[in-house]
Amino acid sequence: MSHPLVLEEAGRLLAATLLSTFDRTAATPEPEGRSSSAVITRRAIAYMETNPDLQIGVADIAGAVMVSVRSLQLAFRRELDTTPMAHLRRVRLDRVHAELVRGDSQAGATVTAIATRWGFPNNSRFAAQYRQAFGMLPSQTLHGA
């Protein structure tokens, strides 16, 4: 019962149950003049930034902001010209980058361990995404280059 995947799935089930249980009309009203796509995007980004370490997908994000997957995707495309999962990947890359900057390779910090902790299990794909985002390899960041 203490296996991380079992606990994670139990947490997701609990979150889904809570979301479906509580009154969706009780949400805080948004200020006048805000487009619905801007509101959806803002709420989704807040959820992603609060939970970047969880294994979440687009359906989880949509459920957290109480919209359909398609509405979420359209809002992100309209407001940010990207997808929700691309934005989540960028949030996670930023967290990896911050940890690599603080990391100490002499104390045993490794790129692989940090990347895996933030949801990047494929080292070569992660390195390519990191380099595209930050202009250097993750190992260069860890070693202070």
pLDDT string in tens for the chain (145-residue length)? 556 666 677 676 666 666 666 545 445 544 444 579 999 999 999 999 999 989 999 999 999 999 999 999 999 999 999 999 999 999 999 999 999 999 876 677 899 999 999 999 999 999 999 999 999 999 999 988 6
pLDDT score of 14: 67
Residue type, 126: F
Helices H, strands E: what count in the chain?
A: 8, 0
Domain containing 102 equals 87-142
133 and 91 in a single domain? The answer is yes
Torsion of Cα atoms, 128 then 133 then 137 then 143, to 10°:
-150
50 and 12 in a common domain:
yes
φ/ψ (deg, to 5) at 55: -85, 90
Q: What is the reported pLDDT for 1?
A: 53
Q: Which residue has the tokens 């045993």?
A: 108
Number of independent structural domains in the chain: 2
Same domain, 54 and 93: no
Question: Does 61 share its domain with 97?
Answer: no
Look at residues 57, 82, 107 and tell me which one is the last residue of a structural domain.
Answer: 82
Question: What pLDDT is attached to residue 32?
Answer: 43
Let me know whether 72 and 118 are in one domain.
no
Residues 127 and 70 in one domain: no
15 plus 64 within the same structural domain: yes
pLDDT of the residue at 6: 63
Q: Do 30 and 96 have their domain in common?
A: no
